[in-house]
Amino acid sequence: MSRTSSPEAAEHVGVLIIGGGPAGLAAAVAARKAGAQDLLIVERDRMLGGILNQCIHNGFGLHTFKEELTGPEYASRFISQVKELDIPYLLNTMVLNLDRDRNVTLMSRKDGIRRVKADAVILAMGCRERPRGALSIPGFRPAGIYTAGTAQRLMNIEGYQVGRRVVILGSGDIGLIMARRMTLEGAKVLTVAELMPYSGGLKRNIVQCLNDYDIPLQLSHTVVDIHGKDRVSGVTIAQVDERRSPIPGTEVTYDCDTLLLSCGLLPENELTRMTGAEMSSVTGGASVDESLQTSIPGVFACGNVLHVHDLVDYVSEEASHAGESAALYAASSEGERRADAEAVEIAVAGGVRYTVPQRIDPVRMPDKVTVRFRVADVYRDKTIAVYRGEKRLSARKTRVLAPGEMEQVILKKEELSGLTAAEGLRVVIED
């Protein structure tokens, strides 16, 4: 691809992948393997791999590679494939604009402003952490308040120590991992407070990162005050009632210099919104069909920008599917592309919060489609069932369902033939 000095001339790209993290990498590899030409990955950071680069703990890849890898190792497996397959990528490059006709404006130090017209676009921008401000935690606004991921980056990539005595609010996975990481670096993690009566993280992380280091997890607790005008000098935690309001008299103040926040991840869909794609208010991501195509033809989404995942293995799997779909779309002619969606919305009930995909086309779908979802609360001894109209297509008994873990069901084409919207398709949790 040649460098253009004038922002007027738009270059043609077959499949443009926005984001070079785990989702973008897997999508690009799959698109290439499915025959896509003229791929381009655009990454805003200094290297490919995304958030995996700072996840130096292991536990990645058990599903994908049947072995336990660190984040950088997991990323490198995909990065070497990208290189072997000769997939071009741009680093330190920001997508400033994306429209519904897949016109893209890029900006970088090296190339200035560059315009690209893509046959298909894969959105793989990932997510960001919910900041202190969005939590409306009262108190001072001193140094020493970090989202867990920012602290992780400063420690693991830049090599700095962010605090000595730490309180963590939120039991998301990054917070749990950071509790262990900071302990190993010599910091004292005093407690992890979680607003909800259950943890938002994986069970294995609670065991391996908190229990193994005797770090107390206080469920139904939150931060009610932050002390220290310049640097954090203390944090007050209180118990909350069923409505999540702090209970007066339960306050305990911890002397600490750092507050880490691990209070949820938010898909980064600024570009998605620019296209006018239909969004899901539950996931914070686009609403997609079984090919992971958004409501904008030729624009696909995968990974944490679509919905926040628990394991990177599922991100890779989902992204591969998006890559294949985008390759197919880019190679097809106008006539072959679907004009009007015949897709049926997947309804949810009984504690299923959402599904991805949100809709499915019984004719165009492949033989099997994996539908992923999360649940709203902790459920014990329940059954996950799929209904076509009143007919139960599948049922699976579960011991425990938790909001921190992603669940899935498989839909089979043979069971959905002739499915109509009137008939309906539902994923439910039942007794």
Partner 1 sequence: MKTDHDVIIIGGGVTGCAVARELSLWDLDVLLIERGEDICSGTSKANSAIVHAGFDAKPGTKKARFNVEGSRRMKELAVDLDFAWKNNGALVLCFSEEERAAVQELYDRGIANGLTGEELRILSGEEARKLEPALSEEVVCALEAKSSAIVCPFELTCALAENAAANGVSFRFLSEVTGVERSEEGYIVRLSDASVLKSRYVVNAAGIFSDSIHNMVSGHKLAITPRRGDYLLMDKEAGGTVSHTIFQLPGKFGKGVLVTPTVHGNLLAGPTAIDTADKEDTATTAAALAEVQERAAVSVPRMPFKQVITSFSGLRAHEAGGDFVIGECEDAPGFFDAAGIESPGLSAAPAIGQYLAGLIADKAGARTKENAVLTRTGIPHMALLSDEERAELILRDPAYGQIVCRCENVTEGEIREAIRRTPGARSMDGVKRRVRAGMGRCQAGFCTPRVMEILSEELGIPMEEVCKNVPGSELLIREEGK
Where on the chain is the footprint of partner 1 (CB under 8 A)?
5-7, 44, 92, 94, 96, 105, 107-113, 115, 128-129, 131-134, 136, 138-144, 146-147, 149-150, 153-154, 157-158, 160-164, 224-226, 229-231, 246, 257
Cα 138 from chain centroid (whole Å): 28
Q: State the nearest-atom distance from the C-beta of 351 to partner 1, in Å.
A: 22
Q: Which is nearer to partner 1, 87 or 226 (CB)?
A: 226
Q: Which is nearer to partner 1, 62 or 96 (CB)?
A: 96
* Residue 107 to residue 96: CA distance in whole angstroms: 7
Cβ neighbours of 214 (radius 10 Å)? 8
Q: Which is nearer to partner 1, 61 or 228 (CB)?
A: 228
Q: Which residue has the tokens 């994996």?
A: 370
Q: Which is nearer to partner 1, 4 or 332 (CB)?
A: 4
Q: Which is nearer to partner 1, 85 or 96 (CB)?
A: 96
CA quadruple 312, 314, 315, 317: dihedral positive or negative? positive
Q: State the nearest-atom distance from the C-beta of 348 to partner 1, in Å.
A: 21
Q: State the nearest-atom distance from the C-beta of 198 to partner 1, in Å.
A: 22
Q: State the nearest-atom distance from the C-beta of 22 to partner 1, in Å.
A: 17
Q: Which residue has the tokens 């409306």?
A: 136
Q: State the nearest-atom distance from the C-beta of 227 to partner 1, in Å.
A: 8
Q: Which is nearer to partner 1, 109 or 380 (CB)?
A: 109
Show the tokens assigned to 301: 């989404």
Report cis status (omega within 30 of 0) of the bond before 22.
no
Q: Which is nearer to partner 1, 14 or 267 (CB)?
A: 267
Decide: 116 and 40 in contact? Cβ < 8 Å: yes
Kindly write down the DSSP assignment for every residue of 41-73, as one continuous string: EE-SSSSTTGGGGG--SEEE-TTTTSS-EEHHH
Q: Which is nearer to partner 1, 102 or 372 (CB)?
A: 102
- CA 194-195-200 angle, 5° bins: 60
Q: State the nearest-atom distance from the C-beta of 231 to partner 1, in Å.
A: 6
Decide: 378 and 198 in contact? Cβ < 8 Å: yes
Decide: 323 and 31 in contact? Cβ < 8 Å: yes
* Residue 395 to residue 409: CA distance in whole angstroms: 9
Q: Could you tell me which residues are beta bridge partners of residue 258?
A: 166
Which residues make Cβ contacts (< 8 Å) with residue 385, sequence separation at least 6? 392, 393, 394, 395, 396, 427, 428, 429, 430
SS3 assignment, position 267? strand
Burial category of 282 from C-beta neighbours within 10 Å (exposed 0-12, middle 13-18, buried 19 and up): middle
* Residue 66 to residue 17: CA distance in whole angstroms: 27
Q: Which is nearer to partner 1, 162 or 299 (CB)?
A: 162
* Residue 360 to residue 394: CA distance in whole angstroms: 17
Q: State the nearest-atom distance from the C-beta of 16 to partner 1, in Å.
A: 18
SS3 assignment, position 407? strand
Q: Which is nearer to partner 1, 12 or 141 (CB)?
A: 141
Q: State the nearest-atom distance from the C-beta of 108 to partner 1, in Å.
A: 5
Q: Which is nearer to partner 1, 143 or 341 (CB)?
A: 143
Q: State the nearest-atom distance from the C-beta of 307 to partner 1, in Å.
A: 18
Q: State the nearest-atom distance from the C-beta of 207 to partner 1, in Å.
A: 28
Q: State the nearest-atom distance from the C-beta of 132 to partner 1, in Å.
A: 7
* Residue 82 to residue 95: CA distance in whole angstroms: 20
Cβ neighbours of 207 (radius 10 Å)? 11
* Residue 375 to residue 410: CA distance in whole angstroms: 17
